[in-house]
Chains A and B, each alone.
Chain A
Amino acid sequence: MDFASFLIQMLNSLQYGLLLFLVASGLTLVFGIMGIINLAHGSFYMIGAYLAFVLTSMTGSLVMAIVLGIPLALVFGAFLEWALFSHLYKRDHLEQVLLTYGLILIFEQLRSLLVGDDVHGVAIPAFLDASIQLTEVMSYPVYRLAISAVCVVLAVALYFVIQRTRLGMMIRAGNDDRTMVESLGININMIYRIVFALGVALAALAGMLASPISSVFPNMGSHVLIISFVIVVIGGIGSVWGALVAALIVGFADTFGKVLVPELSGIVVYVVMAVVLLWRPEGILKKG
């Protein structure tokens, strides 16, 4: 591999990792702050992508679709929390796993009923539809760079909200000691609803952003789900920074794995996860 290729592969790893981070961030928030394992998280990614497809077909613009889609996702998330997830806080992990597993089936079938089973494409917004020439044969799509930029901005924003705002403080406190927070007069139910809705919206946004480059198709949530869990566990449940670091690690492992050890590239990610868990069972960066 020559140096130019190496650099481009680094760029590929970075871009893939950042997108994974966007999906995983919502999961780690819900997991860490509310203590809920949500297997349906991949479905939210899928819902986002299909929302992008449907809304772009209606409005003709992906940007418009995202602007409309985010509030829709937030409302949907809040509704789900109120209807189903609020009952899960006191239940054990097995029941959460199973209930959310049932949700995956329900969401996939509803998708099939409502939108059908065909593969769809979503158009890249015209102002981003260009490429930057990197070498004499290869160019890099501007859209991918744009997605990476959005992910970085969101990472910073998330950090800011959680570490530097009152809302964030309440969220962190509620995670440490729910009853104490309630006795202080803070409505913990509302906080949980907000966090959950945020988690859903983050996953859906990732789906929307990725839809032009990944296409929109049945079962697209499956792969993303498992990878998200791996990232959350490697990074430390509840830690947004941890999710970022872990997502980048996974991005590099996957990219270079494909090039250097193609036969084993499927396994590399799990080996990394197992090693991390056995070395530091709480994840690389503990809750923070």
Chain B
Amino acid sequence: MNTHASLILKLIAVAIIACVPLSGESFYIEIVGKVLVMAIFALSLDLLVGFTGLVSFGHAAYFGIAAYAVAILSPQYEAASLWYVLPASIGLSALAAFVIGLFVLRTKGIYFIMVTLAFAQMAYFIFHDTPLGGGSDGMYLNNKPSASIFGWEPFDLTNEVHMFYFILVTMVLVYLFLARVLQSPFGRVLVGIKSNEHRMQSLGYFTFRYKLGAFTLAGALGGLAGFLYAVLFGFVTPELLSWHESGNVLLMVILGGMGNLVGVIAGAFAFEAMREVFADITKYWQLLMGGVIVAVVLFLPGGLAGIPGRIKRAMQGGEAK
């Protein structure tokens, strides 16, 4: 399968998604929009987990910080300017990731997982227990940000179709951006760190700086997803920073196949589709969800992206994996 055919298929996929607003069904436009936001969130985590080998169990913190930022920074009775709140929210998440990264990246392995969880819990409790963000009930974003520049409005986020395309375009840009980053020297070093950090260090790289860069970038992109989520739904809650959300996004990454950008997007879709389908089948849908998670870990270590490979290998004559 060459890159031309691969590109054409990707374009077809984007075109299909782009047709969703034509259905006119408000609910589905919003749901697919939400899945695209989750895909951005999962992509940001994949940079850390799949490519740099840093398993963060607190990624929801950066999602939530940006979501709260746009709600807090927006005035109560009028729309904020998109060109101000968007960079501000992402900037705050990136700053948080940078500061937290300075601390957590000193640890490794299981301790890294735990300490990322600890900082995420701190952020969770700050929003949950203090008056900063309306406490445990959450707060509203009353008006979606306005995109107008000196009176000219290129698009209107209160229009659900515009909102959808804004999210879709953002997702595609994030994907292209990450693909580019991974091709760059910076990205190559990250991959090298995942494979063998000591080797990279012995080659003269200050791996701490690269890891911090990846952590900050992942935090910024996670914040972008959080920003979009807040604007889409108009409501933010501390549960957005809970370890359950961090667990869910990790699951999307592993479901899609770590280290595989397109796979991770598929993982986000698969996760949401499963949630919807299971919830319609039974009220004990979390039982099915848990079962799927266990099964995926035990039997599908490469995630969804690994399935075609396994089928191919099976057909070629059942070699041991």
How many residue pairs bridge A and B at CB < 8 Å? 116
A274 and B287 in contact (CB under 8 A), knowing A98-B251, A99-B298, A237-B110?
no
A105 touches B289 (CB 8 A): yes
Q: Which residue of B lies closest to A104 (CB)?
A: B290
Asked if B126 and A267 make an inter-chain contact with CB atoms under 8 angstroms apart, the answer reads yes
Inter-chain contact B293/A274, CB cutoff 8 Å? no
Q: What's the minimum C-beta distance from B234 to chain A, rounded to whole angstroms?
A: 27
Cβ-based interface call for A101 (8 A): yes
Count, chain A residues at interface, CB 8 A: 39
CB atoms of B129 and A263 under 8 A apart: yes
Check: A182 CB closer than 8 A to any chain B CB.
no
Q: Are A278 and B294 in contact (CB under 8 A)?
A: no
Q: Is the CB of B55 within 8 A of A37?
A: no
**In whole angstroms, how far apart are the Cα atoms of A270 and B126 in the complex?**
11
Interface residues of B in 125-141 (CB under 8 A from A): 125-126, 128-130
Which residues of chain A have C-beta atoms less than 8 A from B250's C-beta? 94, 97-98
Q: Across the interface, do A277 and B115 meet the contact criterion of CB distance under 8 Å?
A: yes
Known contacts A106-B287, A108-B286, A281-B107, A97 near B115 by CB under 8 Å: no
In the complex, A95 has a CB within 8 A of chain B: yes
User: Are A94's CB and B49's CB within 8 A?
Assistant: yes
Which of the segments A49-57, A141-149, A156-164, A226-234 contacts the partner chain?
A: A226-234
| Contact, CB under 8 Å: A37 / B110 | yes
Q: Contact between A270 and B118 (Cβ–Cβ < 8 Å)?
A: yes
Give the contacts of B33-70 with A (CB-CB under 8 A): 49, 55, 57
Closest to B253 in A: A94
Contact B254 A229 (CB under 8 A): no
Contact of A101 among B130, B287, B293, B301 (CB under 8 A): B293
Report the Cα distance A91→B300, complex, angstroms: 12
Known contacts A99-B294, A229-B114; A266 and B128 CB within 8 A of each other? yes
Is the CB–CB distance between B243 and A97 below 8 Å?
no
Pick from A87, A103, A233, A278: contact of B106, CB under 8 Å: A278
B-side contacts of A94, CB under 8 Å: 49, 55, 250, 254, 258
Which chain A residues (274-288) contact chain B, with CB distance < 8 Å? 274, 277-278, 281-282
The answer to whether residues A93 and B111 also contact, given A102-B294, A105-B290 and a CB cut-off of 8 A, is no
Interface string of A251-287 (1 = CB under 8 A from B): 0000000000001101100110110011001100000
Which residues of chain A are within 8 angstroms of B113 by Cβ–Cβ distance? 37, 93, 97
Residues of B within 8 Å of A267, CB to CB, are: 122, 125-126, 129
List chain A residues, Cβ under 8 A from B110. 31, 37, 93, 237
Q: Which residues of A contact B114 (CB under 8 A)?
A: 229-230, 233, 273, 277
Interface status of A109 (Cβ within 8 A of chain B): yes
Q: CA of A101 to CA of B246 in the docked complex: distance in angstroms?
A: 11
Contacts of B243 in A (CB 8 A): 226
Residue of A nearest to B124 (CB): A266
Distance in angstroms from B287 CB to nearest chain A CB is: 4
In this complex, what residue of B is CB-closest to A262?
Answer: B129
| Interface residue from A93, A99, A105, A229 paired with B287 (Cβ < 8 Å) | A105
Q: Which of B117, B125, B254 is A95 in contact with, Cβ under 8 Å?
A: B254
Partner of A270, one of B108, B121, B247, B290: B121
Q: Residue B291 at the A interface, CB < 8 A?
A: yes
Cβ of A4 < 8 Å from any Cβ of B? no
Q: Please state if B286 and A105 are interface contacts (CB–CB under 8 Å).
A: yes
A273 touches B109 (CB 8 A): no
Answer whether residue B314 sits at the interface, using C-beta atoms and an 8 A cutoff. Answer: no
Check B119 for interface membership: any CB of A closer than 8 A: yes
Q: Mark B272-294, 1 if CB is under 8 A from A, else 0.
A: 00000000000010110111111
> Taking the nearest CB of chain B, how far is it from the CB of A285, in angstroms?
15
**Contact A105 to B293, CB < 8 A, known contacts A94-B55, A277-B111:** yes
- Whether B186 is near chain A, meaning CB under 8 Å from some CB there, is no
Residues of A within 8 A of B286 (CB): 105-106, 108-109
A110 lies within 8 A of B287 (CB): yes
Given contacts A95-B297, A106-B290, A237-B110, contact A278 B129 (CB under 8 A): no
- Chain A 77-116 interface 0/1 with B at a Cβ cutoff of 8 Å (1 = within): 0000000100100010111011101111110111011000
**Closest partner residue, chain A, to B258 (CB atom):** A94
B55 touches A106 (CB 8 A): no
B136 to chain A, nearest CB (A): 11
**B155 on the A face (CB < 8 A):** no
B177 within 8 A of partner (CB): no
Q: Which of A98, A106, A112, A273 contacts B115 (CB 8 A)?
A: A273
| Contact A101-B251, Cβ < 8 Å, known A270-B118, A278-B103 | yes
Do B297 and A99 touch across chains, with their CB atoms under 8 A apart?
Answer: yes
If A97-B55, A109-B284 touch, does A233 touch B297 (CB 8 Å cutoff)? Answer: no
Interface pairs A-B: 10 shortest CB-CB? A102-B293, A105-B290, A106-B290, A109-B287, A266-B125, A99-B297, A102-B290, A102-B294, A105-B286, A270-B122
Q: A277-B114, A277-B115 are known; give 19 further A-B pairs, CB within 8 A.
A: A37-B110, A37-B113, A95-B254, A98-B250, A98-B251, A98-B293, A99-B294, A104-B290, A105-B286, A106-B290, A106-B294, A113-B287, A229-B114, A266-B128, A270-B118, A271-B122, A274-B115, A274-B122, A281-B108
A-B contact pairs, 20 of them (CB 8 A): A37-B110, A37-B113, A84-B294, A98-B293, A101-B247, A102-B293, A102-B294, A103-B294, A106-B291, A109-B284, A109-B286, A109-B287, A110-B287, A112-B284, A229-B117, A233-B115, A266-B125, A266-B129, A270-B118, A270-B121
